[in-house]
Structure 1
Amino acid sequence: MSRVGNAERFMRTLKEEEADGRAYRDIDDARNRIGEFIDAVYNKQRLHSAIDYQPLDEYESGLLRLRREAPAAIAETEDCY
């Protein structure tokens, strides 16, 4: 959310899809339910335009895979010389 507008967009999504009009028992209930929304919907289902319309979890998994595979790929190219 470091780009200008990303935090605002997230808050809009949170309000539209989870919090707007909901009654929470207390602050702990709100934290739990909003946390569940972020984990279940925002990170796993919602497509993010800044990362080629992938869900955040899928994008992060790809980054982790690249980090594991990149050293091996670099070593293979160095062996060719």
Structure 2
Amino acid sequence: MTAATQGGGTDGTIFHSDRGSEYTSEAYNTLCDHLGVVQSMGRVGSALDNAAAESFNSLIKVEYIHRRRFATRTEARLKAATWITGFYNPRRRHSAAGGLPPEEFEQNISEARKRHGQKYQAA
């Protein structure tokens, strides 16, 4: 999704995940290498390593999914993705980001890192 929304600009992006088979596969590792994405994985048996992802999963269920009915799983996936890209990332304010939406917060961090010569950004 980062490649699609940022016009392919993923070099140095860090993607954090658990150690699920889809994220540890050779094909996924090759794709990340090709895109310049740095893989980061939580420790085995440490739920706290994925606290941010778990918090997001809870939030999307409470704020979006449980408030609607979907005719199919495909519709649910499409509408959830649209909510993320059309509301959550560009407009929903986050207290952990100083009251900024994620896209604005990431842009500020990216600009600050460019000024200070740092390469990596959060996914």
Partner of 1:19: 65
User: Unpaired segments of 5 or more residues in structure 1?
Assistant: 72-81
1:22 is displaced (CA, Å) by 1.9
1:39 lines up with 2:69 in the alignment: no
Structure number having the greater helix percentage? 1
State whether structure 2 residue 90 is matched by structure 1 residue 57: no
TM-score (structure 2 length as normaliser): 0.47
Taking CA–CA contacts closer than 8 Å with sequence separation of 6 or more, which of the two structures ends up with the larger relative contact order?
Answer: 2
Deviations 1:52-72 (A, max 9, x none): 11110001011111122213x
Query: 1 CA distance for matches of 2:52 and 2:116?
Result: 29
Secondary structure at the aligned position of 2:64 is classed as: helix
Q: How many angstroms does 1:12 deviate by? A: 4.6
CA distance in 2, matches of 1:21, 1:68: 40
**Greater alpha carbon shift after TM alignment, 59-68 vs 20-29:** 20-29
Task: Count residues with an aligned counterpart.
Answer: 71
1:77 matched to which residue of 2? none
TM-score by length of 1: 0.65
Indicate the SS of the match to 2:71.
coil
Partner amino acid for 2:113?
R
Moved more, 21-30 or 45-54: 21-30
Structure 2 gap ranges (5+): 1-47, 118-123
CA–CA distance in structure 2, aligned partners of residues 29 and 42 of structure 1: 18
RMSD over aligned Cα, in angstroms?
2.5
Matched residue SS, 1:65: helix
